[in-house]
Structure 1
Amino acid sequence: MPDFIELGISIEMAGILKENGIAVPTPIQQLAIPVVLDGKDIIAQAQTGTGKTLAFILPIIEKIDTDADRIQALIVTPTRELALQITSELEKLVASKDISVLAVYGGQDVEKQLKKLEKRVHIVVGTPGRLLDHIRRETVRLGEISFLVLDEADQMLHIGFLNEVETIIRETPYDRQTMLFSATMPEDVRKLAKKHMREPQYMQVEKTQGPAETVNQLAVQTTDRGKQGAIMELVRTHRPFMAVIFCRTKRRVGRLHEVLKANGFSCEELHGDLSQSKREQVMKKFRDAEYQLLIATDVAARGLDVEGVTHVFNYDIPEDAESYVHRIGRTGRAGTKGLAITLFTAADRGMLNEIEKELNIRIKKEIMEGAKDKPSPAESAQKSRDGRKPSGKPHHRGVQGAKKPKSEAAEPGRRDKSLQGRKQDATGGKNRPASQGKQQMGAGKKRDMAPRGGKASTKQAGGSPNKSTRQGRTRGKR
């Protein structure tokens, strides 16, 4: 296996890498570094955690002209967290060199950024929105850059930055060297590359790498209603020092955060609706271990690299094998042991099987108490389509699949589906909860039954009482 010097990295830089505990290049570094040093455009398909950051920053550092008073390299990332992570890596490597690095991102004081830009800056790392702000202010000029890196390109386009990215690219010179890194290669990423790159060399580190051997894996079967109780029971049982809990959507992150906080857990939430300053505050506190659990969406946690994460919980099953590897890779880092626990329902079983098949692994499985009393996958699918409860076994409101939390009744978000059903009914929908239907039937019976004493209520078509009947009864009493 070649070392960094054999790849073309200077002896001085190789020594700095060794001081930082990096001695052997990863597969993506072996592929990318020589090609980038040769001045060619590259498209590299590699996931987070494969060492791709060093694959582009090492050649850039080697080729920076420290005598030139201009921005020479631009690195564009989808999230502020990733921008900060790349900036941190750069600053460690250029500490002994006369190279200046600046991170620009939303939520940061613009005036501070402007003051730094007045000085000499060689490398800018930024998010699309804030970069465009500086371009419009003409405080960042990209007309003379030599290197352009689009990192996590699939995520940038996924969260809607296509127009911004193309606007930024148009500000750069045609003869720049472009490096595009992406975990996946959807059609929009391919189109972007074809449009803005010159004969790029494509390289790929296996499409889906297996999970790290340092991460133990477990899948726990429960029900969707039982997930909140299950996650609380698992945290109490496994006692993580620090853990990341992944949810499918921002709304589910928010609901779970409310429930866990109400039950006394030390936790915070991380998703796209938070302001940049709030996200920075959340991440800083998590890195400082000021709270135990970080509840996050996939996009918000991109580039998340925090020492001390002992556990990862997949509250919602990942959509594919790549997402699964990315999520559980947040633990078991730097040779330490980690544990990844995935909650799944009967309806999720097919997705779990696909993940195991694609990664060629077998995940140990357990069943939470009560998880067997669940609808079949067909019933679950029907329930999601029409909002009605599946036929068969009686439906219980209690949490299935875990010990019942003491404050369950006060937990928000526990009854999402039943609430949704009531909302549909209130707006004239056809789908009424079964309990409501029974109440209405009961009310109908009471109206038809005559009260004691034989005084049945009779009404004419107009809705007023029958006067002749009432008068007849009065005469009879007399």
Structure 2
Amino acid sequence: MTFKDFDFKEKLQKSIEDAGFKEPSPIQVDAIPVILSGKDMVGQAHTGTGKTAAFGLPLINMMKGNNGVEAVVIVPTRELAMQVSDELFRFGKSLSINTATVYGGQSYSRQLKHISTAGIIVATPGRFLDLLRDHKIDINPSFVVLDEADEMLDMGFLDDIKEIFTFMPSSRQTLLFSATMPNAIKSLAKSILVEPEFITITQSEITNSRITQTYYVVDDYERDDALIRLYDFKNPEKSIIFCRTKKEVDRLSTFLVSQGFSAKGLHGDMEQKQREEAMNAFKKGKLEVLIATDVAARGLDVNDVSHVFNYHLPFDSESYVHRIGRTGRAGKDGTAISIVTPHEFKMLQKIQKDTGGKLEAKVIPNIESVKEKKLTV
């Protein structure tokens, strides 16, 4: 199955192709037709299954585009709000649908200005409820999405969410996504959804079983040395290193070039021409290493990437799945390696729980074993 089978609007289909999306994931296959039919829906799916596109694409397809705020997406954290907002903006841009991100810690006036031109609001519960209570916004959305409902429950947002729905129109389509289904979520679903369809995606469908996932524990100051030693030992043909920030991408690409690697960075602050040059060189095999941020690599579709390195773990499991999904494509085996400090163990455990993936702990090869490997190759 391909995205063309959903018969989306032409401009939306083009945005999907530009983003490098080829085949829909299991949650997208199941959820998109239900959402397009106008029904309410409960989707039990973990982070990293492609949920944002599963609800975002059909909603954008159904939006009129000139009607003020037509859709509201409520998420637990500001990081997720920014990530979901970026992805929805990328899909909606060609249809002139803007997104506004609403979370605490940012000025009200700036957020209100964005809302005034937006078709979609992506919000955390607390700040969104403030705006509704104070009558700072007057919206009448046709679509309301609760994403990661169980996370919001764990963070104590249940009462806020119930109150938010008192401000929402009764004639709306409501979608709820949750990795787990505790009783509180079931009763919330009963109170805010009307005869919903239930869709469940199993753990085994999240990550590609052809990808070997390992992690190496180091202290923060040892990351660069660890990376070089792993490169010398693994000798990858074509690899991507993921960093959290643009600054890190720039620093690391300079460092790797100084170590004799043919490497280039890829991030959102680079000019389009520079990004295209780096991408084309990597695709044609003129570059061994591409160093990228999550956002820059979202639409990356290269089949022969042998290794993916996480210089830092990402902030969420969905980004982890996207990152490691750059390898092990087109039926080939792939290797995903994460460099982790003891401070990141909690995040590592969360990624394992969310994705159902098995990350094996390994020890950084010492200089003797690297030399030995080079002599036997």
Which residue pairs with 2:300 in the alignment? none
Pair 1:289 & 2:281 matched: no
Return the alpha-carbon distance in structure 1 between the equivalents of residues 320 and 12 of structure 2. Answer: 31
The equivalent position to 1:101 in structure 2, one of 94, 99, 103, is 99
Pair 1:136 & 2:133 matched: yes
Which residue pairs with 1:236 in the alignment? 225
| One-letter code aligned to 2:157 | F
Return the alpha-carbon distance in structure 2 between the equivalents of residues 91 and 160 of structure 1. Answer: 29
* Larger Rg over CA atoms: 1
Whether contact under 8 Å (1:28, 1:52) holds in the other structure is yes
Which residue pairs with 2:41 in the alignment? 42
Return the alpha-carbon distance in structure 1 between the equivalents of residues 20 and 144 of structure 2. Answer: 27
Return the alpha-carbon distance in structure 2 between the equivalents of residues 150 and 287 of structure 1. Answer: 33
The equivalent position to 2:196 in structure 1, one of 189, 196, 200, is 200
Describe the SS at the equivalent of 1:164. helix
Whether contact under 8 Å (1:45, 1:207) holds in the other structure is no
Q: Deviations over 1:16-55 (max 9, x none)?
A: 2112211221111111111101110111122222211111
Describe the SS at the equivalent of 1:329. helix
Deviation at 1:187, TM superposition (A): 2.6
Return the alpha-carbon distance in structure 1 between the equivalents of residues 360 and 136 of structure 2. Answer: 52
Return the alpha-carbon distance in structure 1 between the equivalents of residues 323 and 363 of structure 2. Answer: 21
- 1:148–1:291 CA distance, 2 compared to 1 (3 A): farther
Return the alpha-carbon distance in structure 2 between the equivalents of residues 313 and 20 of structure 1. Answer: 24
Q: Name the structure with the higher helix share.
A: 2
Which residue pairs with 2:8 in the alignment? 9
Summarize the alignment of residues 200-349 of structure 1 with structure 2, pairs less than 5 Å apart: 200-209=196-205, 211-213=207-209, 215-218=211-214, 236-239=225-228, 285=245, 289=249, 305=294, 310-311=309-310, 329=321, 331-335=323-327, 337-340=335-338
Return the alpha-carbon distance in structure 2 between the equivalents of residues 210 and 67 of structure 1. Answer: 36
Which residue pairs with 2:276 in the alignment? none
Summarize the alignment of residues 87-126 of structure 1 with structure 2, pairs less than 5 Å apart: 87-117=85-115, 119-126=116-123
Flag the structure with more relative contact order, 1 or 2, with Cα contacts below 8 A and sequence separation at least 6.
2
Question: In terms of mean alpha carbon deviation, does 102-111 or 25-34 score higher?
Answer: 102-111
Which residue pairs with 1:59 in the alignment? 58
- 1:36–1:326 CA distance, 2 compared to 1 (3 A): closer
Q: Deviations over 1:248-293 (max 9, x none)?
A: xxxxxxxxxxxxxxxxxxxxxxxxxxxxxxxxxxx6x45753677x
| One-letter code aligned to 1:153 | A
Provide the TM-score with structure 1 as the length reference: 0.52
Q: Deviations over 1:99-146 (max 9, x none)?
A: 2321111222221122333x343211111111112112312224x211
Q: Deviations over 1:310-348 (max 9, x none)?
A: 22778xxxxxxxx9x76853642433852146899xxx9
- 1:14–1:194 CA distance, 2 compared to 1 (3 A): same
Which residue pairs with 1:150 in the alignment? 146
Return the alpha-carbon distance in structure 2 between the equivalents of residues 13 and 89 of structure 1. Answer: 13
Return the alpha-carbon distance in structure 2 between the equivalents of residues 124 and 361 of structure 1. Answer: 36
- 1:51–1:215 CA distance, 2 compared to 1 (3 A): same
Return the alpha-carbon distance in structure 2 between the equivalents of residues 305 and 93 of structure 1. Answer: 17
Question: In terms of mean alpha carbon deviation, does 89-98 or 174-183 score higher?
Answer: 89-98
| One-letter code aligned to 2:111 | Q
- 1:313–1:84 CA distance, 2 compared to 1 (3 A): closer
| One-letter code aligned to 2:54 | A
Describe the SS at the equivalent of 1:94. helix
Deviation at 1:306, TM superposition (A): 5.3
Return the alpha-carbon distance in structure 2 between the equivalents of residues 84 and 42 of structure 1. Answer: 24
Whether contact under 8 Å (1:312, 1:341) holds in the other structure is yes
Return the alpha-carbon distance in structure 2 between the equivalents of residues 360 and 95 of structure 1. Answer: 34
Whether contact under 8 Å (2:213, 2:358) holds in the other structure is no
Q: Deviations over 1:71-126 (max 9, x none)?
A: 21111111112111122122222222232321111222221122333x34321111
Whether contact under 8 Å (2:215, 2:359) holds in the other structure is no
Q: CA RMSD in A?
A: 3.7
- 1:84–1:123 CA distance, 2 compared to 1 (3 A): same
Which residue pairs with 2:74 in the alignment? 76
Deviation at 1:63, TM superposition (A): 1.3
Summarize the alignment of residues 348-359 of structure 1 with structure 2, pairs less than 5 Å apart: none
Describe the SS at the equivalent of 1:310. strand
Structure 1 stretches of 5 or more lacking a match?
Answer: 221-226, 245-282, 293-303, 315-322, 370-478
The equivalent position to 2:186 in structure 1, one of 179, 190, 193, is 190
| One-letter code aligned to 2:70 | Q
Return the alpha-carbon distance in structure 2 between the equivalents of residues 242 and 91 of structure 1. Answer: 25
- 1:60–1:335 CA distance, 2 compared to 1 (3 A): same
Whether contact under 8 Å (1:312, 1:328) holds in the other structure is no
Whether contact under 8 Å (1:132, 1:164) holds in the other structure is yes
Whether contact under 8 Å (1:218, 1:342) holds in the other structure is no
Which residue pairs with 1:85 in the alignment? 83
Return the alpha-carbon distance in structure 2 between the equivalents of residues 29 and 148 of structure 1. Answer: 18
Which residue pairs with 1:460 in the alignment? none
Which residue pairs with 2:288 in the alignment? none
Q: Deviations over 1:167-212 (max 9, x none)?
A: 1111112221111112222332222112211111111111354643
- 1:343–1:107 CA distance, 2 compared to 1 (3 A): closer
The equivalent position to 1:160 in structure 2, one of 156, 163, 180, is 156
- 1:210–1:98 CA distance, 2 compared to 1 (3 A): closer
Whether contact under 8 Å (1:41, 1:200) holds in the other structure is yes
Whether contact under 8 Å (2:226, 2:364) holds in the other structure is no
| One-letter code aligned to 1:134 | L
Provide the TM-score with structure 2 as the length reference: 0.65
Which residue pairs with 2:167 in the alignment? 171
Which residue pairs with 1:398 in the alignment? none
Return the alpha-carbon distance in structure 2 between the equivalents of residues 80 and 31 of structure 1. Answer: 28
Which residue pairs with 1:379 in the alignment? none
